[in-house]
Chains A and B, each alone.
Chain A
Amino acid sequence: MVGLVNLKPSFWDKQERVSAPGASEYLFNYRRIWRLSILLTGVVALVPLIFITLVDYNFTEHAMVSEYLLRTSRTVSNTRRAISFFLTERRSALDFIVHDNGSEELSSPDRLSAILENLKRSFGGGFVDLGLVDAAGKQKTYVGPYGLKDKDYSGQPWFEQVIDRSVYTSDVFLGYRNVPHLVIAVKQSLPDGAFDVLRASIAIEPFEDLLSNLELGGLGDAFIINQKGILQTNSHYHGRVLEKIPLPVPEFSDKTQVFEGENPAGEALFIGYRFIEDTPFILMIVKKKSELMKQWYKTRLELIIFLLVSVSFILAVIIGTVTFMVNKVYAADERRLMALHQMEYSNKMASIGRMAASVAHEINNPLAIINEKAGLIKDIFTIKKEYADDPKLHSQLDSILNSVKRAGKITKRLLTFARNLEATIEPVHLGETIDEVLSFLNKEAEYRSLGIQVDVPADIPMIESDRGKLEQIFLNIINNAFAAMCDGGHLSIQVNRADADAVEVRIRDDGCGIAREDLQRIFEPFFSTKTGQGGTGLGLSITYNLTHEIGGQISVASEIGKGTCFTITLPLKTQPKEGADACACYS
């Protein structure tokens, strides 16, 4: 909290103090300027940065997604070609056998067995068995490992389909052997209008080998389904053969399709598929988007961190610069304000001086007449001896003359005060100056029983300074001390030699004291603890400036309830300021 208070710029609290508009008003609402500058600069600096970053981010992400979709599409196409070729090859072989052999030949188990052997040798994997089924659906000849001779296929879907289409590739099913396989059946038309069907069982292992050899990445899964969504091969992540896949069956398309979808768990997927011509099969390749994009997400995190660091740095620079500039403006404004107040104060003092001089002059003339008249009466009494022996008359006259003298002293003091308002550097006796200031306040001190003790050692030299300013400084501080003290208080003024080139004046009172938190701000313009009691908050600020104008320093120490001590250090010689006397033409 203390750290934050220290970081707070000096202008921060300066906006609410303004009361009446005019010369004594700050020109700006600094906090508002500060906020506005940061906002505008921040928007101008950060919006393009963030915008470009977002555009670039989206563009790159989009490019990466497109790239992955394209790769998937390519893999689907290539794999489809391989599967399609595999099936077409086998279908063509069977078609050739049907046309190359008559019904009697194919009905011969030996011949059929030889053909199966040849097929296995020529085509490698895939062919499991061969059978010849008659038009009633009964398998009249069978060669293979399962002993399926005389099995009735009349009720099976593939048998019905082959009657219609002549050549048919079935879905994968279990059949009598209870092993997943598919059937390629070719119809052989006989001369008497009847027909036989050559049926070959194909194992699914060749497909699975083909699919499992694909390098997919991203936890990719390649499998084949039929148009009802039933798996025709085992899959890594989407179920076993003949199970239903947990994904919707894609819409028919005669081209390779890729799209973004999601699985029932809500994970984003890249899905590619292709309907394989002349078969019930759909080849599907499914990849997890999050796995594929892993590298991109890492880059994205780095990008976000870089962006945040950049934004923080830019903001820090903006805030620092704006704070510095607004502080400068505030300092300039405060100097202007202080100068205005100083001017106002000087004008006020000049007016007071002119009025004092005018009053003194006007009073001096009648006072001189009273003086001369009383003097003349006294002269007559004294010189002509007529009333020389009347002590009562003499004492009355002396009283009049003494009163005139007293009044004369007051008017002379007023005139001296007015004259001292001119800025002139002259030899000043500090003791006399303090006495002169106190002479204005003696009556008040007397009424309030304030004890005043002045100690000016004899070895204190005359200083060269501005008497008028010194009087104002002492008057302001002593006035404050009077205000702080209760009746019967004590004021002590002590002059000491500070060093070879300076003297110090300590003005100490035993008044109410100043709170520690106020002590630091006591010389600031407009700071007043007497708000609402006629305090302008300018007295000590002006005193501070006056002290600096004559080359001095002022400091304050105070304790609540015990009193306050102002220490004014004054140089023995004050350098006159250039142009300071330009207006000192008062007479």
Chain B
Amino acid sequence: MRVLLVDDEEELVSTLGERLVLRDIEAEWFTSGSAALQRVESGCFDLAILDMKMPKIGGLELREELLAKCPDMKFIFLTGYGSEKDFTSAMAHGNSAVYLVKPVDIELLLDKMQTLLNTSRGDV
């Protein structure tokens, strides 16, 4: 599983990345959307975990640009602003996206990642 992490909080994104790596997940992390887009030029990821609010390019906008390059990519959005109930807006994007509020329980995150990837494979 190749996972792309983008969050403008360096401390958060790097720690979360490391935690995923510790679980043998190929994770790469960036603190801006532009850096992430640059990285995607050289190869797609299965899943992206994006912060909703970032300077310059926000999570939803970044998703559009990433999808343009990697149409199969799945998305998990993180935000410190709102609650799971605001998921309705993310649901507009079908089953390809999940919305989680910080702080996220790692087990819940792994579970959502797994569910998303299984859905893409037609397991659900």
Contact = CB atoms under 8 A, between A and B. Distances in A.
A and B held together in a complex: yes
A454 interface: no
Nearest to A372: B15
Interface string A340-384: 000000000000000001001111110111111101100110011
Nearest to A382: B22
Interface stretch (A27-35, A52-60, A404-412): A404-412
Contacts of A373: 11, 15
Contact of A365 (B16, B22, B80): B80
B2 to A, nearest CB: 20
B101 A412 contact: yes
Nearest to A373: B15
A365 B12 contact: yes
A360 B81 contact: yes
A419 B22 contact: no
B18 interface: yes
A372 B80 contact: no
Contacts of B103: 364, 367-368, 370-372, 404-405, 408
A369 B7 CA distance: 11
Interface string B76-117: 001011110110000000000000011111100000000000
Contacts of A384: 22
A23 B12 CA distance: 48
A30 B96 CA distance: 65
A416 interface: yes
B22 A415 contact: no
Nearest to B103: A371
Given A364-B81, A412-B101, A380 B22 contact: yes
A215 to B, nearest CB: 111
Contacts of B18: 376, 379
A405 B19 CA distance: 18
Contacts of A380: 22
A542 to B, nearest CB: 25
A411 B102 CA distance: 10
Nearest to A415: B83
Which one of B16, B82, B103 has the greatest number of beta carbons of chain A within 10 Å? Answer: B103
A210 B83 CA distance: 124
Nearest to B86: A419
A158 B23 CA distance: 166
Interface in A379-438: 379-380, 383-384, 404-405, 408, 411-412, 415-416, 419
B64 interface: no
Contacts of A412: 83, 101
B33 to A, nearest CB: 18
A408 B85 CA distance: 15
B80 A364 contact: yes
A367 B22 contact: no
B42 to A, nearest CB: 27
A365 B105 contact: no
A419 B85 CA distance: 9
A372 B101 CA distance: 13
A144 B11 CA distance: 163
Given A383-B22, A383-B23, A369 B82 contact: no
28 contacts: A360-B81, A361-B81, A364-B101, A365-B80, A367-B102, A368-B9, A369-B11, A371-B103, A372-B11, A372-B12, A372-B19, A373-B11, A373-B15, A375-B15, A375-B19, A375-B106, A376-B18, A376-B19, A376-B22, A379-B19, A379-B23, A379-B106, A404-B103, A405-B105, A415-B82, A419-B83, A419-B85, A419-B86
Interface of B: 9, 11-12, 15-16, 18-19, 22-23, 78, 80-83, 85-86, 101-106
Interface of A: 357, 360-365, 367-373, 375-376, 379-380, 383-384, 404-405, 408, 411-412, 415-416, 419, 587
